Amino acid sequence: MVNGNLKLDLPEEIHNGLVEKAKEANISPEAAAILILSEYVRVYGSGIYVGTWRRGDKNGKKGMRYVVDWPFQPGLVKIPGDQSIDEGNRGAP
């Protein structure tokens, strides 16, 4: 498995929401972010669609719009009792 580092500068509202969701699940915010992103990428049907946005044109530059297509199938991650998602465990599908 290849591990990569990704630093995200989240707006305060998004960061606070992620921290709250992580607390509800009794996991770290980092583990929550890994879980969310892993399942988004792993589950069939996810995607990001890009197109121009005519009303967003400013100073001769095309406006862009992005559509995040979340899969309808929920992701299920199973972690054995002797392991922890906070240890970087992605679980078994």
Is the pLDDT at 76 greater than 80, yes or no? Answer: no
Q: Which of 48, 68, 8 is nearest to 32 (CA)?
A: 8
> In one letter, which amino acid is 73?
Q
Q: Tokens 């890009």: give the residue.
A: 50
- Contact (Cβ atoms closer than 8 angstroms) between residue 18 and residue 32: yes
| Dist. CA 81–CA 91, nearest whole Å | 11
Which residues lie below 8 Å from residue 67, measured CB to CB, with a gap of 6+?
48, 49, 50, 51
Is the pLDDT at 81 greater than 50, yes or no? Answer: yes
Strand partners, 32: none
pLDDT tens-digit map of 4-49: 788 889 999 999 999 999 999 999 999 999 888 888 888 888 899 9
